[in-house]
Amino acid sequence: MSEPESAKGPLSGVVVLDLTRALAGPFGTLLLAGLGATVIRLEEPKGDGRESAPFLGKGGASLRRMAPDDVSIAHVIRHRGKQSITLNLKHGDARRIFADLAAHADVVVENYTRGTAERLGVGYSQARAVKPDIIYCSISGFGQEGSVGGGKAMDGIIQALSGIMMTSGAAEDPPVRIGVPFADLGTPLFAVIGIVSALFHHAKTGEGQHIDVSMLGAMTALQAAEPFKVLEDLGVPMRTGNTVPRLSPFGVYPASDGDVVICCSGDLNFHKLMTVMQRPDLEADARYASQTARLENYHSLDLQVAAWTATLPIAEITERLDAAGIAAAEVRNPDQAIRDERVQARGEVVALQHPDHGATQEIYGPGVPIVFSRTTAGLDPKTAKLGQHNLEVYAQMLGYSAEEIERLRSEKAI
């Protein structure tokens, strides 16, 4: 009996060729796989991207490869749910093989520097020549306009150029890099939105198209969502550390046993907070009488709130504020956060496994943080071995003979 459609992911039946490397591209195709697409990842025969420490092996995690079957934890995180085939793009047969693959695909995703995919013979023009309605997504640092190359786009480079580094921290701090690779993880979200939108357009019209997503553009667009320059011109500093002045009191405050975030925007919530703090004098103070007044005097107000929170443990602060209807939470470290029963139960964070030895150490990675009412979404906890699906793809999908596959293997084309 066939599997009911409701038991499949919403992108079930969509075939994706994954030419991506590093993090930005692979995270996008990871999400596509989690949504049910069949993602065929093209890897160099030598195993590009599998040598990054730390490693996971039979004995758990280590900074050095302890056994031949140890696998990069980063690789497990980024490439679960994908098929693995090998293809040397510099081999003489690579362009023909790519064309054969593209003819069977719905989507191609790449994140080479500008122009590299076309030079290698795996660009949009080559894919479109064999599949006119192909949906082809390019993720690059600066977009596809201009000369070939266009500069290296690492996460830190994009955080710097987008201005994001100068929005975090206090006024006197040096530039602050966001701890998670924000550009590498944020940009592919826009790529996935573009791909899903293009698939919707294709379903209506039969047309394919090229999707061009720029890391710099995506991150600058997010930064532009806050009017930093306008506020600064009006006397509100751009860099305000752990507080949001225009919503004050709204920020991170010290507790007796850690730190707590309080989000208390609006006059009604301010009244509730002052009631909990037993500070009617502050509520009556003209400096704090309205949201606008609090914006102009946020620093002195933050000092008053911090003086109160510093005398209490986190649990008591959050209990009191929750009872009053004010949003508050403890500041957790990453390990505490991924162990939250809510996110684990919803599959938003999942335990990872070694492809051969299973769960040899407690390690977690991202799941699919979308819960559908009718369809499923999720990822295998393991990753495929290098070239694990060569026969399945080259023989069964493309119809290559055993002799042809052996020739390609002997020539190190696959």
Ordered strands of the 250-255 beta sheet: 250-255, 258-263, 327-330
Torsion from C-alpha of 87, 88, 93, 96, nearest 10 degrees: 50
Torsion from C-alpha of 291, 293, 295, 296, nearest 10 degrees: 170
Residue type at position 245:
P
- At a CB cut-off of 8 Å and minimum separation 6, what does 18 contact? 25, 26, 29, 39, 40, 41, 42, 82, 109
Buried b (16+ CB within 10 A) or exposed e, 280-289: eebeebeebe
CA distance 323 to 395: 63
Q: Which of 184, 322, 335, 340 is catalytic?
A: 184
Give the phi and the psi of residue 114 in degrees, each rounded to 5.
-50, 125
CA distance 252 to 166: 19
Instruction: At 28, list the tokens.
Output: 């996008």
Active site residue 93: no
Task: Kindly report whether the peptide bond that precedes residue 254 is cis, defined as omega within 30 degrees of 0.
Answer: no
Q: With contact defined as beta carbons under 8 Å apart, do 80 and 381 qualify?
A: yes
Q: Give catalytic residues, as residue numbers.
A: 184
